[in-house]
Structure 1
Amino acid sequence: MTQLGYTLSSEEHGPNVLVENARHAEEVGFDFVSISDHFHPWISAQGESPFVWSTLGAIAARTSEIDVGVGVTCPTTRIHPLNVAHAVATIDVMFGDRFTFGVGTGENLNEHVTGERWPEHDVRLEKLEEAMDVMRALWTGETTSHHGEHYTVENARLYTCPDEQPTTIASAFNPQTAEWAAEHGDGLWTVGPQESVRETFEDAGGEGPKYTQLDVCVAETEDEAIETVYENWPNGALPGELSQELSTPAHFKQATQMVEKADIAEGSTVTDSDPQAHVDSIQEAIDAGFDHVYVHQIGPEQEAAMDFYEEDVLPSFR
């Protein structure tokens, strides 16, 4: 059965709001929530960027049934994988069997802040593979030393550790990375109904849950929704690899000056106020082979969007 989820957008909401959104998502009947892990928002107008691990601790205390995932963390540059492993182990213990850890190669926007060079994609994959080896060794609860090409760990042991290895799902947006995810991840994480990425992942032997996020904006009218997306999430309309390569919110703001409202209206974000449009978008992702589909409500109207889904969208899949 397909699991339906809701995005906790760390770029748009402060930690207390995110905790409340998670609680409300559980209340209205979503199966899971996914929280983003950012140091910066994409553009300054989004306005927030709380530390995800602190927020997750509060969510664990305020919810009791809903599954929770991080979609996704880059454990390679801004934070040493030893520290990420420590955070994940603690959060996994707090959530029990409700937690899923998503990993990816990250964005320059968040990772350049320590002054470390932003390498090409193949090197980022090498670093992520080594980081995952480090984390999985630490999650055994045994004393770990590691002297690799990118990371060093000496005599480290996690004393607060889950009984089983955390489920670690790899992000992929193209066939090359999907093949890598099939080998190294416990599942696939992507954006949109990318059937070709899912097929490549499975053809390469990938198994486990397959997550995808859909952008939506619930509003009184479609024009209002388009305006909200244009003001709060124009970065979603940027092409190619810009999202991985631009380094500051100011650069994203400059790049999004190329985005017009017509691009939003004609793009993949669901701005139609008709519930059937939202049902159809989710069904398209299900038909593309994804078993975990979650929606990212853009803008401040979080409670109204969740109530809309509770009344008019979720029942179509129950």
Structure 2
Amino acid sequence: MVKFGYKASAEQFGPRELLDYAVHAEKAGFDSVWVSDHLQPWRHDGGHAPNAIAWLGALGASTERVQMGTSVLTPTFRYHPGLIAQVFATLGLLYPERVILGVGSGESMNEVPLGVEWPDNKERFARLKEAIEIIKLLWSSDRVDYQGQFWSLDKATIYDKPSTPVPLYVAGSGPAATRMAGRIGDGYITTSGKAPELYTDKLLPALHEGAEKAGRNVQDLDLMIEVKVSFDPDRAKAMEDTRFWGALALKPEEKSDVEDPIEMQRLADALPTERTASRFIVSDEPEEHVAAIKRYLDLGFTHLVFHAPGPDQARFLDLYGEQILPLLRKQG
């Protein structure tokens, strides 16, 4: 069954307001809530960065049924992978079968300000792979001795862990991380708004390749995609709402090595609205909107998580719950 989630954008709202929206999402009929894990937001003015781990505990206590997870957390710099194993084991005990750990290789803006010397893609990938191995070992074993390239463990034990391990999803925007998701992940996370051939020619084939090499079936994985949407009966408002998230429309070469939210904001604000909207499905008509989203269902994604850019998230949640989710569930 296809699931539909809500992206709780920690870069845009403070912890209490964000929690209220997440509770609202459950009432509006969403199946899951996913929170971003940032030390610094994409923009300085009006930006926020509540801690995702602490916030998830509050979310679990405030809701009854939604799945909840990180999209995504980086268990390699700010957090030791052993700490992440402990935290998510605890969350899994508190909220059985509701918690998911989503991991990725990270953004320099979240690590460099704390003194990290940002490594190249090869090292970040190797660190993520080793961190996942450590987390899974600590979840599945009583005492762990481990000697890796980046970390070592000496008789380490997670004493309180759920009987069923927390699912671990791997995020990938390129073939290497996507293959790893196919090999060792319980799910895969990527984002929308890229060229169609990226998904059809690179990412999904890499996911299948990774799964096949590990003797696994992609159909057993949860294929999650963050779908960036701006839906409102007022199309001009839907377009203008995308401006807060203009940084998403910057090309990799335009924002590489930018760790300062003030500079990131300057670069994003210089973009025209047509370009900030280019990463979003922008619509004022439900059938048109659902038709644009359907292409991700047709690609085989099984968990669509919607990221809306506007400041009035309650309005978005109500509109989506009333006009969009019912149509999508008929498609699924």
Give the TM-score category using the shorter length. over 0.9
Structure 2 distance, partners of 1:89, 1:244, is 34
Aligned to 2:263: 251
- Structure 1 stretch 137-146 or stretch 61-70: which is displaced more? 137-146
Aligned to 2:196: none
- Structure 1 stretch 267-276 or stretch 216-225: which is displaced more? 216-225
Aligned to 2:224: 211
| Matched length | 316
Alignment of 1:1-318 (within 5 A): 1-140=1-140, 142-192=142-192, 194-196=199-201, 197-205=203-211, 207=218, 208-230=221-243, 232-240=244-252, 245-265=257-277, 267-318=278-329
Contact preservation (8 Å) 2:35, 2:52: yes
Structure 2 distance, partners of 1:95, 1:53, is 14
* CA RMSD between the two structures: 1.8
Local SS of the residue matching 1:136: helix
Contact preservation (8 Å) 1:141, 1:159: no
Contact preservation (8 Å) 2:231, 2:289: no
User: Alpha-carbon deviations, 1:239-282, whole Å to 9, x = none?
Assistant: 136566421212312332442112134x1312322122331232
Q: Which amino acid counterpart does residue 294 of structure 1 have in structure 2?
A: V
Q: Percent identity?
A: 29
Q: Which runs of 5+ in 1 are unaligned?
A: none
User: Alpha-carbon deviations, 1:175-226, whole Å to 9, x = none?
Assistant: 2321222223222100017344123201332631100011122345222222
Structure 2 distance, partners of 1:198, 1:98, is 26
Q: Which amino acid counterpart does residue 272 of structure 2 have in structure 1?
A: E
Structure 1 distance, partners of 2:254, 2:186, is 27
Q: Which runs of 5+ in 2 are unaligned?
A: 194-198
Structure 2 distance, partners of 1:190, 1:290, is 10
